[in-house]
Structure 1
Amino acid sequence: MDDDQQESMLPIANVGRIMKQILPQTAKISKEAKQTMQECSTEFISFVTAEASDKCHKENRKTVNGDDICWALRTLGFDNYAEAIVRYLYKYREAERHKANSSRDNREESNYRVFEKGGTSQAEPS
């Protein structure tokens, strides 16, 4: 395998780490097994991404999003993966909304100073 092909692959250390998560702690993984999984997972991701990218191109869009990936998984017959990704994407978007709302609320609170005057609170912009 040449350097260009190696650069477009997922990092083998990450692949190995993911593989170890599912196996018993005493299990060992050969370098060949890690390389095989690296090649297969990289190819799978490229396959799905190409399908999603084609859809975006046909729709004159330049950005592939999570919904495009889910569509591509279904189109390619990976319905079980698509269902899991749809659930993940929903939870991810909810968390991002919550984080954005919390950040906005914190910014708004920091824009005001509270002064005690005569026993009552009064907010004044800073």
Structure 2
Amino acid sequence: MAERPEDLNLPNAVITRIIKEALPEGVNISKEARSAISRAASVFVLYATSCANNFAMKGKRKTLNASDVLSAMEEMEFQRFVTPLKEALEEGSRKVRRKLQSKRRRTKTKKQIQKSKTRAGMRTTTKMRKGWRKKNRMKRRTWTTEEDGETGALEGTALKRLCAAFSCWTEQSWAEEPKKMEVKTD
């Protein structure tokens, strides 16, 4: 806990700001008055916390919650503070909910953007693949023989098979010389 009694005092800057907001403009307050108000506020906070702690212990809890503080205010006979405290609590809860919802929306939007980028990339890649396949299907490779000047067209795997057969055929030693073939791409 606190080692010195001064450690329990509220910060002077906060107390001074609250005093200035409460008093009309042009009114000055002495250092002793600020010190007295600071000590009184500290005692009030400690007493309210102690009463709220009693309500938490009755509920077999170690953590104070808002209902404990509101019950403590009623027990200390500060009923006029209960309504403003409830309103401030509701306003704070609304702000927290709004922040959480906006954060969820932002993350949801980011995820949707990432998904759409990924999907668009996948669509583009798929379209590119389909286009590439289509181009290859449409691309005809022609072959000609030097002897008779024959020309023909082969596509895809048929051309690959022909080339494989041709390479095997030329590697073998045949008695007669094979025909020369050229493979051209349109």
Are positions 1:75 and 2:75 aligned together? yes
- SS of equivalent residue, structure 2 residue 4: helix
Which position in structure 2 is the counterpart of 1:17? 17
Listed as ranges, the matches of 1:4-83 within 5 Å are 4-83=4-83
What is the one-letter code of the residue matched to 2:69?
I
What is the one-letter code of the residue matched to 1:111?
K
Which position in structure 1 is the counterpart of 2:90? 90
The runs of at least 4 consecutive aligned structure 1 residues that moved more than 4 Å come to none
Structure of greater Rg: 2
Contact 2:15 2:38 (8 Å CA) reproduced: yes
Listed as ranges, the gaps of 5+ residues in structure 2 are 121-186
Q: Distance in 2 between matches of 1:62 and 1:109?
A: 39
Report the TM-score when normalising by structure 1. 0.84
Which position in structure 2 is the counterpart of 1:124? none
**Count of paired positions:** 115
Listed as ranges, the gaps of 5+ residues in structure 1 are 118-126
Identity of aligned residues (%): 25
Report the TM-score when normalising by structure 2. 0.58
Q: Distance in 2 between matches of 1:12 and 1:60?
A: 35
Q: Distance in 2 between matches of 1:55 and 1:22?
A: 31
Two-structure CA RMSD over aligned residues (Å): 1.7
